[in-house]
Amino acid sequence: MDIQTFDTQLLLLINRGAVNGLFDVLMPALSARGFLLIIPFLLAMLCRGAIQKNKQGKTYFPAALWTIAIAVCALYFSQ
């Protein structure tokens, strides 16, 4: 089997064999608003920053807020 045949068979396997009804509906919506995928990550970072403490006993919450603010500004200016 040559590389072209293998590549074609792999493409067909992915496009036809990995079909999922939920993803058929979900992925076009997420692709249209791909930047919304960052929201769960930013919320997780904010929660972890509020919980985790450094050696002095201070949380990383202010750093998490600044990071989120920078990310939101970057998103705003990129459009």
Domain boundaries, the chain: 1-32, 35-79
Report the predicted TM-score, pTM, of the whole model to 2 decimal places.
Answer: 0.46
Average pLDDT over the chain, rounded to whole?
Answer: 80
pLDDT at 53: 85
Q: State the Cα–Cα distance between residues 26 and 20, nearest whole angstrom.
A: 10
The whole-number average pLDDT for the span 26-46 is: 73
The token pair at 37 is: 């995928």
pLDDT at 59: 86
Beta bridge partners of 62: none
CA-closest candidate to residue 49, choices 68, 66, 62, 40: 62
- The rounded Cα 32 to chain-centroid distance in angstroms is 14
